[in-house]
Structure 1
Amino acid sequence: MIKSKKIINFLFFFALLGTVPAVAQTQPMQPQQQQKIEVNDAELQKFAKAYQQMRMVNQEAQKKMMALVKEEGFEIKRFNEIHKASLDPNKEIEMTEEEKEMHADVVEDLGDMQKEFQEKMEEVIEEQGLSLKRYEQLAMALRSDRELQQRLQNLMQG
């Protein structure tokens, strides 16, 4: 798919862990790559609307993911412990064979869900008249450009 998958994956797994970030983030840019981009108010408004709608999609995703984890017999906290450990090759965690199988089943089901939510988020971005690439550029710029952050915050509050 497109590089925007990083943003979608980032939002998806933070929703699962219950900590949705304030602004969508991607991989950190190297200092020499960081450059100020021109963004007019209309484009920033589109970003703000897309971001707000994506937060709603993310909340819906979080509810569905938590329900799935519970349906499989996990407590959210225990699933998150096992999942974090599974993502870190340097971390080991004690778990039963049953937990290991349950975790694998949940992760597979979450992967299927992720495709649905990813498509929905891409739709939201495009419905606002932004390309996925431009949305990603704006999200990256917002990580380091305080003036742009302030403009976005003012648009979202007003």
Structure 2
Amino acid sequence: MIKSKKIAGLLFAFTLGTASVFAQTQQLPQQQQQAVEVDVSDEELSKFAEAYQEIRMVNQKAQQEMAQKVEESGFDIQRFNEIHQASLDPNADVEVTEEEKTKHEEVVAEIEGMQGEFQEEMEEAISKNDLDVERYEKIAMALQTDTELQQRLQQLMQG
């Protein structure tokens, strides 16, 4: 059983791909997602964009390494995700053999062991761009609901 939902969330973000700029940031539970207003200067948004790009690279590397661990164990990525989701949802109806269950637990333990390194690399990318993790997350949360801020970020990243 996975000890951290954050790891599970990251695992699925990696294996299923990223759909938006905010996929790599900590997601709040749905009921807590609400408009977060943050005053962000162009300079700070530029730092955020730089950190975000570096975090994306860390995530791509992490995705490859985690997928490699899954495949090395003999699992198909899709089957691993199916079993993993079932391990997180007690109501899921997925047939899993004892061998698959054991192998899944071993792979999850390996992936959990890798998380610290990736987390450090992400935090380093943030601090290297003169932001702290809390501020980065605050901007990321604001980006989830602030369309003007999203447009400013898109322009920065395209320019």
TM-score range for the pair, normalised by the shorter chain length: 0.7 to 0.9
Count of aligned pairs: 151
- Distance in 1 (CA, whole Å) between partners of 2:123 and 2:11 is 13
Q: CA deviation at 1:96?
A: 0.9
- RMSD after superposition: 1.9
- Distance in 2 (CA, whole Å) between partners of 1:112 and 1:9 is 13
Q: Is the 8 A contact 2:36 2:141 kept in 1?
A: no
Q: Is the 8 A contact 2:71 2:77 kept in 1?
A: yes
- Distance in 1 (CA, whole Å) between partners of 2:7 and 2:19 is 12
Q: Which runs of 5+ in 1 are unaligned?
A: none
Alignment-derived partner of residue 58 in structure 2? 57
Q: Counterpart of 1:82 in 2: which secondary structure?
A: helix
Structure 1 stretches of 4+ with a deviation exceeding 6 A read 5-9
Q: Deviations over 1:98-151 (max 9, x none)?
A: 100000000000000111111111111111110100001000000000000000
Q: Which runs of 5+ in 2 are unaligned?
A: none
- Relative distance call for 1:35 and 1:96 in structure 2 (3 A) is closer
- Relative distance call for 1:86 and 1:116 in structure 2 (3 A) is same
Alignment-derived partner of residue 22 in structure 1? 20
Alignment-derived partner of residue 112 in structure 2? 111
Alignment-derived partner of residue 131 in structure 2? 130
Q: CA deviation at 1:6?
A: 8.1
- Relative distance call for 1:65 and 1:126 in structure 2 (3 A) is same
